[in-house]
Structure formats: structure tokens, C-alpha cells
Amino acid sequence: MEYDKSVINRLRRIEGQIKGVLGMMEQGKDCRDIVTQLSAARNAIDRTMGVIVSTNLEQCVRENIINGDETESLVKDAVELLIKSR
């Protein structure tokens, strides 16, 4: 699968957030601030996983419709993948 540039940009922002957390830890910042930033990074990761799964699902469904294949199992697999990621 080819990944959209916006997904790669999301991951680069997350990478920056994590580097920022490491910097906060090195500076001895309050744990509440660190946990807040880690929570923001986790939420960003969750949203990015959703974008990746939904984009992949859309592409696979389109291909299956064009090929005359069924799509029900694709949707079930995508939902299971999202559930497992939580």
C-alpha cells in the first residue's frame, strides 16, 4: 500500500511530540505535564491508525467491487484491527 503524504506528516509530528517529551524529562519537568504530552501523542497515534485503516479499507473495497469480490470480510478485518489496537 502506498501511504499518503499527510499520514507521513502526522507521524513526523508525533515523532516531534515524543522528542519533546524526552526533552521535558531531561529538564525534569512535572510528571503531569509529561503525561499530558504522552496522552496527546497517544491520541495522535490512535487517529493516525484510524486514517491508515480507513484508507486501506476504502482502497480494498473499491478493488473488490471492481473485481466482483465480496467486501464483508474486509470490513470485519478492519474493525477487528482497530479493536485490537486499543
Q: Determine contact, residues 9/44, Cβ cutoff 8 Å.
A: no
Q: In this structure, what CATH number is given to the domain that contains residue 50?
A: 1.20.58.1000
Residue 60 to residue 63: CA distance in whole angstroms: 5
Report how many domains make up the chain: 1
Q: Which domain holds residue 57?
A: 5-84
Q: Determine contact, residues 52/3, Cβ cutoff 8 Å.
A: yes
> What is the pLDDT at residue 54?
84
Residue segments in the chain with a per-residue pLDDT below the cut of 70? 86
Burial of 33 (0-12, 13-18, 19+ CB in 10 A): exposed
Q: Determine contact, residues 19/74, Cβ cutoff 8 Å.
A: no
